Structure 1
Amino acid sequence: MTDTKLKILFVASEVEGFAKTGGLADVAKALPLALHEHGHDVRVMMPLYRTVKGADTAEFLCNQTMRPQSGLPEIPYSIKQLKMGGVPVYGIDSPHYFDRAGLYGEDDHAYNDNGERFAFFSLAILQSCETLDFIPDIIHCNDWHTSLVPFLLKTRYRDSGRFSHTKTILTCHNAAYQGIFEKSQLKLIPEVNSCMDHQVLENYSYINYLKAGVLYADKINAVSPNYASELLTPLGSHGMSHCFVNRIRDFEGIINGCDYNDWNPEVDPHLPQNYSSHDLSGKAVCKAKLQQEVGLAQSDKAIFGMVCRLTEQKGFNILLPALEDLLLHDIQLIIVGTGDPAITGHLRSLEQHHPDKFKFVNTYSDYLSHLVEAGADFFLMPSLFEPCGLNQLYSLAYGTLPIVRGVGGLKDTVNDYDQDNDNGNGFMFYEPEPVDLINLLRRVLLLYIERPDEIIRLKTQAMQSHFYWSESVFQYERLYAKALERYAL
């Protein structure tokens, strides 16, 4: 690692505290703050959506005009500044592209012009750097939404003296979402139409934004070592293994940290009583409050909790059949989330058949997310794939034992009790089959009923498992140094 303090621009489509749909937002807050604490000059740039918290009071910096090379009308926008600790957050304010009810779509339908929206954002990132006179050493891009930035630097800005020393990092938070759009949506970037690289194109009429980023970024990382390994295989790569294999020398996995400022049961303001690994008594109070909040009878029955987007990725094709059997037992189940209407309908039906055991809360609620993590005994994550996962980290911090499938970052962070009783902090199954999940759930339930002291030991041990951003940030500094060719063995 180099001791040189860097100028870093972190670009993302969402940032916790301003706009969020998933784990990307958590990283886009926590990692820049951790880098700032290490002394780097870090700035964040994101779209200024209508829904951004604080948008109305953001500090106006300047007006901008984008002049497309293709003869299209000029596009006015402005740059506004918000604050995140000591890190400036620049919001790209374009009403045409971002003054909408959702970030990426509405009513589970993506906006038809998302390709154009984030092509504009990528161009605005580089233009704004010049206007603000902030030319970074590193532009840290995240997922497909910003993957055209490395492409632009290696094409349109290739001969730009200002960006001659700027290097790009691309973090893949979830390579299942690749940003595939017709070339017609990229009129703002005519260089794309002359691109004939099969690694970027899909059937030559579409461009794959993520592939462009993987091809053109100076360094690439996935959000856990195991997910990085999976992306090198045809089965786990979402059709992109050849792209990652071709960049293997520039590709690695770095596990996400957990933001313990937001997820700490000792000080969490959402909880009716705080607690720690040295005194778990407050967890019982949280359990009673959770039961009251969702309308379940207060008891010592095992509570299985789940908070997530209701998508296929989260393993509902495995989970739903298993729940039919799990709800035959004397347990309580709470699922909080929004998403796929088909999954929502199935959960509603299950709730109607088991109203005294199962509550489904069809919403996103920060308060309920914290209360489930604190009040449940076990947390379900039977994901088909999980690049890193954050809820298992929150669950560990709150002494709520995670029940996970052995994929991606789940495998990197959860120690399976069945394989290592002494060091276990959760439970794991591997095959994506309902029978494997229900067998594990029954073993867990039996342990809960017959060995309560062992469950307490496991909860205490889980709370002593820590994944600090201060540790992950060193690995990102090493990655930046490699990109800048300042890394020495």
Structure 2
Amino acid sequence: MDSKKLKILFISSEVEGFSKTGGLADVAKALPLELRNMGHEVVIITPFYRTIEHRESAQQIHQLHLKTDNARPDIPFAVQELSLDGIKVLAIDNAHYFDRSGLYGEENNAYADNGERFAFFGIAALLTSIAEDFSPDIVHCNDWHTGLVPYLLKARFHSNTHFTDTKTVLTSHNSAYQGIFEKSQLNLIPEVSSCMDDRVLESYSYINFLKVGVIYADKINTVSPNYASELLTTLGSHGMSDHFIERIHDFEGILNGCDYNDWSPETDKLIPYHFDSNDLSGKEKCKKALQQEVGLQVNDTPIFGMVCRLTDQKGFALIIPILERFLRHNVQLVIVGSGDPAITGHLTALAAHYSDNFKFINGYSNELSHLIEAGSDFFLMPSIFEPCGLNQLYSLAYGTLPIVRAVGGLKDTVIDYDQDPDNANGFMFYEPSANELLNILRRALLLYIEHPEEMLRLKTQAMRSHFYWSDSAKHYERLYHSALHIRPQWE
């Protein structure tokens, strides 16, 4: 059984190369490609957003309908076919739900009907699988957007021979986002809107998509071992600990990999100079190019970089109170991101006041993100929580030492210099305290100034830390086979 090549239906609300707001898209590209390389047959299903890349090359292959009930008309949708390096990508095309400026919202406000949108997406994905005559061994669901799929397979599709032997895996990439909506958004799926089971509709009034997925999926995982441990605690679970504990024997953490095809200083097409762990001279040239690009003085001053969504999760409640004190040192800081208007306002004001050594770019640029990873000396990531984190993996690949808090996947991938100097690849602090963050920033700065040879050794060591998707994919393969071996508890 363990050598069986599987048919995997991979459902994700975003996929790198087509649509992206965060790390989910990176996983939804890299993991299917690695599974394909292992010999498995993978089909990806994702929404056909207005902003989807390569839209012009899409080919419509199906015209389908979602049957609702007599109270409302059926919902038509098309299926557009795209390709990800030879993997079939099927995009659900419905203008009402997906022909919008954003994926989940606009101007930092979520769309009011996101529950209805992604309830539709989940059931449309299963109808598409039937239309394609793709009968999967595994349906791999990702985050709350697909949380209804395991339940729908056991409710609407339980007697459908297309899914007779199908099992489900749900990956929670960030359990803080749970998809909680009023019952009225589920009217298009009568099995859900009329369900009297409190595990599906709580108090018969609202639904938590992620909770439903955790309850009904055959196997569940998250994206690092340490975050999995945190989800079993009251403090670290975003209110979901009871549900994860109930499924503890079907739950694990699998660390994300790094896509070195896109993030390697030896081959990166988005940086002006290449380098490797044996010769970092190109990194110094990238540093000068970064300083020129953002308008900082070109010199040997240490650069601290940061690229992220501007949210509380990323530690701005720790950063902003100490930023002025930190900027009084001989440092340069570049932050790139968008999000919370209050955080944006604070950073904009500070950047205006400290324009000589602090640059804030409100927005996202893939090219600039790569240049920051290549040209910075340190990468700032003081997250309040971090399921896995990808930027610390990118930073390590480019010899940019991550400064992180000891949470989630950051703790699984970064080795602190004070704790283990011989094997260290970065800096780590524990308490969610602004002063603790300032202390570790100064600690890193002191090492840069007083021990340049040690800094070079650390950078070289960081570049030799590798997190391959091929290793992660083997763990997922074992999880799939485990799902296929079990008899679901509700049967």
Q: 212-221 or 72-81: which moved more?
A: 72-81
1:34-113 matches, within 5 Å, as 34-69=34-69, 71-113=71-113
1:39-438 matches, within 5 Å, as 39-69=39-69, 71-438=71-438
Separation of aligned partners in 1, 2:294 and 2:328: 20
Q: Provide the secondary structure at the position in 2 that maps to 1:484.
A: helix
The one-letter code of the counterpart of 1:412 is: D
Q: Give structure 2 stretches of 5+ with no counterpart.
A: none
After superposition, the C-alpha distances for 1:309-336 in whole angstroms (9 at most, x for unaligned) are 0001101001111212110101000000
Q: Give structure 1 stretches of 5+ with no counterpart.
A: none
After superposition, the C-alpha distances for 1:96-121 in whole angstroms (9 at most, x for unaligned) are 11001000011111111111100110
The answer (yes or no) to whether the contact 1:169–1:480 under 8 Å persists in 2 is yes
Q: CA, structure 1 residues 401+178, in 2 after alignment: closer, same or farther (shift >3 Å)?
A: same
The answer (yes or no) to whether the contact 2:183–2:201 under 8 Å persists in 1 is no
The answer (yes or no) to whether the contact 1:214–1:244 under 8 Å persists in 2 is yes
The answer (yes or no) to whether the contact 1:70–1:190 under 8 Å persists in 2 is no
RMSD: 1.2
Q: CA, structure 1 residues 6+353, in 2 after alignment: closer, same or farther (shift >3 Å)?
A: same
After superposition, the C-alpha distances for 1:349-383 in whole angstroms (9 at most, x for unaligned) are 11111110100011110000000000000000000
The answer (yes or no) to whether the contact 2:192–2:200 under 8 Å persists in 1 is no
The one-letter code of the counterpart of 1:184 is: S
Matched with 1:466 is: 466
Please give the TM-score of this superposition, normalised by the length of structure 1: 0.98
The one-letter code of the counterpart of 1:300 is: D
The answer (yes or no) to whether the contact 2:256–2:472 under 8 Å persists in 1 is yes
After superposition, the C-alpha distances for 1:143-172 in whole angstroms (9 at most, x for unaligned) are 000110001011111122221100000000
Q: Provide the secondary structure at the position in 1 that maps to 2:291.
A: helix
The answer (yes or no) to whether the contact 2:113–2:185 under 8 Å persists in 1 is yes
After superposition, the C-alpha distances for 1:454-478 in whole angstroms (9 at most, x for unaligned) are 0000000000000000001110000
Q: Provide the secondary structure at the position in 2 that maps to 1:263.
A: coil
Deviation of 1:55 (Å): 1.4
The one-letter code of the counterpart of 1:5 is: K
Deviation of 1:2 (Å): 1.1
Q: Provide the secondary structure at the position in 2 that maps to 1:310.
A: coil
The answer (yes or no) to whether the contact 1:70–1:187 under 8 Å persists in 2 is no
Separation of aligned partners in 1, 2:339 and 2:193: 35
After superposition, the C-alpha distances for 1:256-290 in whole angstroms (9 at most, x for unaligned) are 00000000000101111100001000001000000
Separation of aligned partners in 1, 2:476 and 2:214: 17
Separation of aligned partners in 2, 1:131 and 1:251: 31
Separation of aligned partners in 1, 2:22 and 2:36: 23
Total equivalences in the alignment = 487
Matched with 1:476 is: 476
Q: 194-203 or 376-385: which moved more?
A: 194-203
Q: 279-288 or 51-60: which moved more?
A: 51-60
Q: Provide the secondary structure at the position in 2 that maps to 1:297.
A: coil
What is the identity percentage for the equivalent residue pairs of Structure 1 and Structure 2? Answer: 66
Matched with 2:10 is: 10
Q: CA, structure 1 residues 189+70, in 2 after alignment: closer, same or farther (shift >3 Å)?
A: farther
Separation of aligned partners in 2, 1:107 and 1:444: 36
Separation of aligned partners in 1, 2:71 and 2:33: 40
The one-letter code of the counterpart of 2:344 is: T
The answer (yes or no) to whether the contact 1:70–1:188 under 8 Å persists in 2 is no
The one-letter code of the counterpart of 2:375 is: G
Separation of aligned partners in 1, 2:194 and 2:204: 10
Separation of aligned partners in 1, 2:241 and 2:284: 46
Deviation of 1:202 (Å): 4.2
Separation of aligned partners in 2, 1:109 and 1:314: 18
Separation of aligned partners in 1, 2:416 and 2:208: 37
The one-letter code of the counterpart of 2:245 is: V
Please give the TM-score of this superposition, normalised by the length of structure 2: 0.98
